[in-house]
Structure 1
Amino acid sequence: MSDNNPLRDVFGAIADPTRRRLVRLLAEAEEIPLHELTGQFNMGRTAVSKHLAILKEAGLVLDRKVGRETRFRLNAAPLREIQDWVGFYSRFWSANMMRLNQLLEEEEE
């Protein structure tokens, strides 16, 4: 679970391809109304709203009311947790590949 939001883990929130696409759409725009987001998917407004609610619980999405319309925007800060996790394993594999390369070079000699 994320330390930032005990309600929803950021990894779980982006596990679904629809939610990853929502994150991408929100990253490409400053703010998007719900009806515009819904138009990007082959599903109803309620289904899109449920996906947005999961992203909101993880702290990835912020919303605000403008009249009767709800607008959404990305809060990318929780994605840092994923970047840190991937970075750790990237360094892990780089170090292991370097060791393997050294062993292979020593074996050739």
Structure 2
Amino acid sequence: MPRTATTSDVFNAIAEPRRREIIDVLIDGQEWAVGDVVARLQLAQPAVSKHLGVLRKVGVVTVVKRGQHRMYRLDGEKLKAVHDWVKTYERFWTHQIDRIKERAEQKAMERIARENESPKDGSKTNR
């Protein structure tokens, strides 16, 4: 089965870890030149430009030309579809975290109860 093009939608575009790193750089809302992103991530300029091109095609970043530089800015609104989709699954990990917390509290109570048990001679144990 052929793989879906990375420029088909936001989900495919951000599936690439390097693109998510670029989004993390652009998160401050400021305009960034390609060279600045290259320096920040220590990646090759052609790779950064290619990734920015994919993000631009799906609308996650915008680009304007300022002199000889192309300046990129994050359009966070385009990531809302990802947020909304992931949010539907939040109850699963929230439930798991609650279960982990309950189990940890139960284990702590059991440990305290064991530490406070008296030996047969009636004295308390010190662990």
Deviation for aligned residue 1:54 = 0.7
Q: Which residue of 2 aligns with 1:76?
A: 76
- What amino acid sits opposite 1:60 in the alignment? V
Q: Which residue of 1 aligns with 2:40?
A: 40
> Counterparts in 2 of 1:30-109, with a 5 A limit?
30-91=30-91, 93=92, 97=95
Q: How many residues align?
A: 91
Could you tell me the percent identity over the aligned residues? 34
Q: State the TM-score, normalizing by the size of structure 2.
A: 0.64
Q: State the TM-score, normalizing by the size of structure 1.
A: 0.73
- What amino acid sits opposite 2:53 in the alignment? A
Distance in 1 (CA, whole Å) between partners of 2:79 and 2:29 is 17
| Structure 1 unaligned spans of 5+ | 1-6, 102-109
Q: Which residue of 1 aligns with 2:102?
A: none
Q: Which has the higher contact order (CA 8 A, sep 6+)?
A: 1
| Structure 2 unaligned spans of 5+ | 1-6, 100-127
Greater radius of gyration (CA): 2
Distance in 1 (CA, whole Å) between partners of 2:24 and 2:42 is 16
Distance in 2 (CA, whole Å) between partners of 1:69 and 1:87 is 37
Distance in 2 (CA, whole Å) between partners of 1:65 and 1:33 is 10
